[in-house]
């Protein structure tokens, strides 16, 4: 008796191709993703579909067009990520910013190859390369369209925020009155960028305060431009931030 062979979705071949390019086994891939080897086997056989969060993680392991194929499987729109890295975001439906993963709404966040410190000048939001896409619970990102991540360069906020940490910040609000008493990202045409507390010291007067006591407070004046406020940060000991471009 003739039976029709079940047509597999595209993701099993895509995952197997990724493993071949990385020259790793199903077990090794499972270890990187922190899942069981049986899960990877089921994915490649088309028996079980990875969650949206797993598709995002698979995309971070891939390169080139394959990366986008994984992210699109997660429901992540390419135009959003590419636009986010250049701050040119046009989204008609805000729900497009969210991915459903394991019954939890998560938000894709572009991680830029920008090192926030005195050596970073110019339009780093529009001119930095995209390193990868992070994800976070929607509750952590009150304005998903205006949420971006970058690296910290320097020890001015240690021990609270370590050198090399990844900080996620919200660029929706840029007025000193609204950002007072928050950790902010700011930029100066001659002094570069800064991650610091913003304190109000009088009516309409503000200053920057570092967490590290070896740095003196600095007045906030008209030459400083506020980029946004920090939402959260994370530190990985096995990853170094991109080198500073000469």
State the 10-residue block means of pLDDT for the chain, 246 residues long: 60 92 92 90 91 81 82 66 43 42 66 88 80 83 88 93 93 92 93 94 92 93 91 75 56
Cβ atoms of residues 150 and 116 within 8 Å: yes
**Signed CA dihedral, 33, 36, 38, 43: sign only:** negative
Distance in angstroms (rounded) separating the CA atoms of residues 48 and 181: 48
Instruction: Show the domains of the chain with their CATH numbers.
Output: 11-73 (1.10.260.40), 102-234 (2.10.109.10)
In Å, what is the CA distance from 183 to each residue of 158, 165, 167, 213?
13, 14, 11, 16
- pLDDT score for 98: 47
What's residue 181's pLDDT?
94
pLDDT at 93 (0 to 100)? 39
Please give the pLDDT value at position 102. 44
Q: Identify the DSSP state of 9.
A: P
The predicted structure's pLDDT at residue 89:
35
- In degrees rounded to 5, what are phi and psi of residue 12? -60, -45
Q: What integer pLDDT is reported at residue 238 of this predicted model?
A: 58
- Report the C-alpha gap between 123 and 46 in whole angstroms: 44
- Predicted local confidence at residue 170, as pLDDT: 93
Residue 240 confidence (pLDDT) = 57
Identify the pLDDT of residue 241: 56
What would the pLDDT profile of 201-227 be if each residue is shown by its tens digit? 988 899 999 999 999 999 998 789 999
Give the pLDDT of residue 20.
92
């Amino acid at each position: 008796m003739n039976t029709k062979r079940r047509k597999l979705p595209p993701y099993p071949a895509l995952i197997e191709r990724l493993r071949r390019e990385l020259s790793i086994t199903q077990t090794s891939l499972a270890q990187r993703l922190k899942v069981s080897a049986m899960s990877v086997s089921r994915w490649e056989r088309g028996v079980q579909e990875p969650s949206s969060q797993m598709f995002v993680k698979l995309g971070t392991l891939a390169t080139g067009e394959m990366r986008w194929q994984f992210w699109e499987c997660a429901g992540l729109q390419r135009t959003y990520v590419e636009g986010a890295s250049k701050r040119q975001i046009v989204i008609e439906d805000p729900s497009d910013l969210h991915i459903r993963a394991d019954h939890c709404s998560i938000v894709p966040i572009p991680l830029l190859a920008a090192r926030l410190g005195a050596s970073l000048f110019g339009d780093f939001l529009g001119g930095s390369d995209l390193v990868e896409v992070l994800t976070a619970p929607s509750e952590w990102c009150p304005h998903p369209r205006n949420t971006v991540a970058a690296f910290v360069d320097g020890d001015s906020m240690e021990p609270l925020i370590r050198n090399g940490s990844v900080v996620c910040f919200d660029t929706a609000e840029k007025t000193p009155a609204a950002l007072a008493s928050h950790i902010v990202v700011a930029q100066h045409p001659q002094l570069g960028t800064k991650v610091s507390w913003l304190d109000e010291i009088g009516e309409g007067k503000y200053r920057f305060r570092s967490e590290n006591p070896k740095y003196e407070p600095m007045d906030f004046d008209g030459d400083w431009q506020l980029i946004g406020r920090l939402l959260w940060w994370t530190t990985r000991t096995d990853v170094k931030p991109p080198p500073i471009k000469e």
